[in-house]
Chains A and B, each alone.
Chain A
Amino acid sequence: MNAAARRLPVDDAPLLEAERLALQVGERWLCCEFSLSLAAGECLVLLGPNGAGKTTLLHTLAGLRAPSVGQVRIGGLPYAAWPALEAARFRGLLTQQQPDPFAAGVLETVLVGRHPHLGRWGWEGAEDVAIARRALEAVGLADFAQRDVQTLSGGERQRVAIATLLTQAPRLFLLDEPLNHLDLHHQIAALDLFQRLVREDGAGRGSVLVLHDINLAARYADHVILLDGRGGVIAGDRDAVLCAELLSQAFGHPLQRIEHGGRAVFLPD
């Protein structure tokens, strides 16, 4: 570690900040200027109809796409100030698709998450393998270490991707539709897992999730950003954004809010 690396991240800075951010794809504005700040221990959910720009926004927050207007900072510094590997130890992205053109073992695939932690000539050691095995255990795939990823079901493959992200061990989790292909049990298990990691005292972790299920968003989010697909952005605390009127407008379908067991539930008409 050199001196420049040691000052990353800035002490006490929020995990993730977006300042006056606006995104444009071609001629179309996906979202007008807005700002956000995510502190350690918090979960932000991105909601919106298909094609509203949730993934584009997430990739921008991950530093993989330059914002059209404004700036994104992680740990108090813009991505340009982070060496790529340092940034990869701070924030991790779960992508929507995991292409597997070649056969590979599950453990071998999960170990790829250690890449930013190893030196140029480094090989994964016993400690890395232990981290990867713990990650597989956390997603219920402890018995799958020797399997070939090309033989897995969609849900199993998705859990391998989650385990790879856990093996990467970033502080900021950026999850693009983490519940893809998962059955109900594993949906809740995955969300509980990330909630536990984020709420862990002193770990300094946070998460941003793209979700389609409004009720799961209502259950796990601290903050919500709602993209309406026409360039409008509503960002704020969960209870301020998740109201029937705003959601109905954004999704173009009437919704009702029902109180059940102390929780808000949204039902489509």
Chain B
Amino acid sequence: MSAVALRGESRVSPAMRRRRSPLAIAAVLLAAAAAALVWALVAGDLPVTVAEVLSALSGGDGLSASVIRELRLPRAVAAFACGGLLATAGALMQVLLRNPLADPYILGISGGAAVAALGAITLGAATFWVDASAFAGALAAMLVVFGLAHGDGSWTQTRLLLTGVIVAAGCGAAVSLMLVLAPDTRVMSMLFWMMGDASAAARPWPALLLLGLALGAVMPFARDLNVLARGELSARALGVRVSHLRAALYVLASLLTASAVTLVGSVGFVGLIVPHLVRLVLGNDQRVLIPAAALAGGTLLTLADTAARTVMAPQQLPVGVLTALIGVPVFLFLLSRSPRSAR
């Protein structure tokens, strides 16, 4: 009997090993998010103090106040919203496809956005029209994938996944073609659009609002997602309306991804790795995972974006590179501490 107990000890799941109260988790994540946002407002060429940040936010005047309010705050909010949207979309996609390797871009949403945005840049469109095209392209990709995967009335995960991956591959080819054919003057702005650039984010607040609304819409159904993650058939037998839930998940995850890509660009890594990071620490209960992923994703991208504009200033680094540089070591550290791979 003791051998069984010992074996049981050594292979406990992360969630069981460290069950924490949801309130404590929320407090830690909110504090981290606030700290990241404060750093994003303080850091930069123009040194400011935390007191100046507070005065700027409460309507103070002066150079530092306008730098904070007009440059750093919109950029920090854009990065936070984009990270939160991508991490939430990634967590939803992983449940929808019941595949730990799923990310927000796997079904071709970012591909559709990139084709449309690069098309607009090729035509020399203004920023607003590039953004509008990106959003329209993302929604078009969503409709195409959904329509094709749904073609014969039955939509299995495999069919949806394959359709999405193929559409994404097609978009990738179209993007390469446009990059090759574009005049040299436009290639740089195309590359920057694709790697993600929070400095150009024009309207960050609606994206943050969307993130809040999406969380509000998902949370009442979070336990249904727990059931769905364990198989469609069992979920239906347990009273979950699977076809409605999956369609809603797909549309919501696509909308969140489309908004994030339109706002900042196809920032890689956040949508795949943040849900896994949270899962390693807190377990796979979607009622905890989804809001925690939203906060952690926002925090990670805010940190990465602030680092991207400060570490090699005045040179700006692509934010996607920084998310990977921060996220990879953190992820590997947590993975090495998880009980199954540690032994």
Contact = CB atoms under 8 A, between A and B. Distances in A.
B96 to A, nearest CB: 11
A103 B230 contact: no
A92 interface: yes
Contact of A93 (B17, B100, B220, B233): B233
B12 A104 contact: no
A187 interface: no
Q: Is the interface of B mostly helix, strand, loop or mixed?
A: helix
Contacts of A147: 8, 11-13
Contact of B238 (A88, A100, A143): A88
Contact of B223 (A101, A103, A118): A118
Interface string B9-35: 101111111000000000000000000
A159 to B, nearest CB: 14
Contacts of A150: 340
Contact of A95 (B12, B237, B241): B237
Contact of B285 (A108, A118, A144): A108
Interface stretch (A5-13, A19-27, A109-117, A194-202): A109-117
B11 A108 contact: no
Q: Is the interface of A mostly helix, strand, loop or mixed?
A: mixed
Interface string A92-130: 110101111111110111001101101011110000000
Contacts of B241: 84
B284 to A, nearest CB: 5
Interface string A148-173: 11110000000000000000100000
Interface of B: 1, 4-5, 8-9, 11-17, 94, 98-100, 220, 223-224, 226-227, 229-231, 233-234, 236-241, 279, 283-285, 287, 340
User: Ordered nearest first, which 3 A-B pairs have the shortest CB separation?
Assistant: A88-B239, A93-B237, A85-B239
26 contacts: A62-B237, A64-B233, A64-B237, A83-B239, A84-B240, A87-B239, A88-B237, A89-B239, A92-B237, A92-B238, A102-B279, A103-B13, A105-B12, A105-B13, A105-B15, A108-B285, A109-B230, A112-B238, A115-B226, A116-B238, A144-B8, A146-B12, A146-B13, A146-B17, A147-B8, A148-B12
